[in-house]
Amino acid sequence: MSRGPLRSRWPCARGASFQSTHEFPTVSPSRKIIHVDCDCFYAAIEMRDDPSLANRPIAVGGLADRRGVIATCNYEARAYGVRSAMASGHALKLCPDLLIVRPRMDAYKEASREIHGIFRTYTDLIEPLSLDEAFLDVSGCEHFAGSATRIAQDIRRRVWQQLRITVSAGVAPNKFLAKIASDWNKPDGLFVITPDQVDDFVLALPVTKLHGVGRVTAEKLKRMGIHTCADLRSWRRLDLVRDFGSFGERLWGLAHGVDERLVQVESRRQSVSVENTYERDLPDLAACLECLPELLEQLAGRMARLDSGYRPGKPFVKLKFHDFTQTTLEQSGAGLELEDYSDLLAGAFARGKRPVRLIGVGVRLIDLRSGFEQLRLF
């Protein structure tokens, strides 16, 4: 595990000057947020427990002959283009030597419990995002004289020492920047954005890195000539609200490095879902049904990353028609197979019988709270 000096890789817009007549939001210098993300978590546990798997492409997921989906894979597999939420059959085409291992959720949950035990020695303000990812607010922590950087270093050291897996961490004044930072030096990395570095860092940041900017919004921003946050800052806040609705207000704040979301200690998810807005409206039900398998593969990948304090409840389908009207249909007792979602999709489409611009699929979640009953996803 690397223990060298911290690497600095700021994407600063050197020599660039920026002026605006608009009032700038301010970044709170008092908040200290750490985002911790385990490196290819499930695969890392498998390689740790079976050293013969090291240095060869492996993935954790469902079997190809059962239309399984990849939950995660190691970096050797990623070099071939294998990714999470990819159909196992397609992954094997990209990497014929890929070994797909069935998930051992009990082992992953136990490792997650140990990691969270380490977190709790520094703060109780922990927002788990999945078994292998969490935000920590260490603003009031007295360890290491309150240094969030040294706390993050110590967390990484202890996880490696105790579990023999690596984690990457990002330190910043807010959640938005901490999450970006944790990905900056992956794998096995640490990246720190101090309050006085926020402005330079954000200026050169691609808008595709902004929280909530998906493919459709990114393409719209590109058509407007907006590629970086520096470009975004040249737009008036009111113009962004006009073009993007309430999300325009958030875009404007993120472009200035501001994210006031708190670390939600008791945050529990009500559902998990995926959706896609299509460049061209889908003209009929048959066209909508053709899009369903890909969406369900993505949904399975997201469900695989949920912590085990949930189990799936009612499936649902959301449609947004070409005139921006929308409908959501869900059904108690229905299964989570392609056929079940096809029936829901047909029922939702019958409500509008118009071209469709967006399809969403998801599952309402039952909060177990007592924790650790595993979703059977594979």
Domains in the chain (CATH in brackets) are: 33-39+106-195 (3.30.70.270), 41-104 (3.40.1170.60), 201-255 (1.10.150.20), 271-367 (3.30.1490.100)
Could you list the beta-strand ranges (E) of the chain.
Answer: 33-38, 58-61, 70-73, 99-101, 126-130, 133-137, 167-172, 190-192, 271-282, 310-321, 326-330, 356-367
Classify residue 373 as exposed, middle or buried by CB count within 10 Å of its CB (0-12, 13-18, 19+): middle
325 in Cβ contact with 338 (< 8 Å): no
Tokens representing residue 180 in the block: 């970006």
Q: Which of 46, 76, 133, 275 is catalytic?
A: 133
Task: Mark whether 294 is an active-site residue.
Answer: no
3-state secondary structure of 176: helix
Question: Residue 182 and residue 132: Cα distance in Å, rounded?
Answer: 13
Per-residue pLDDT of the chain (378 residues; tens, 9 = 90+): 443 333 333 333 333 333 333 455 655 667 999 999 999 999 999 999 999 999 999 999 988 777 788 999 999 999 999 998 888 999 999 999 999 999 999 899 889 988 988 998 899 899 999 899 999 999 999 899 999 999 999 999 999 988 899 999 999 999 999 999 999 999 999 999 999 999 999 999 999 999 888 888 899 999 999 999 999 999 999 999 998 888 899 999 999 999 999 998 865 678 888 888 787 899 999 999 999 999 998 888 878 877 677 888 999 999 988 887 789 999 888 888 999 999 999 999 999 999 998 899 999 988 776 444 333 444
Largest separation between any pair of C-alpha atoms in the chain: 63
State if pTM tops 0.75: no
Residue 18's nearest CA partner among 240, 243, 229, 250 is 229
288 Cβ contact list (under 8 Å, min separation 6): 282, 319, 345, 349, 356, 359
191: three-class secondary structure by DSSP: strand
C-alpha 5/C-alpha 22 separation (Å) is: 39
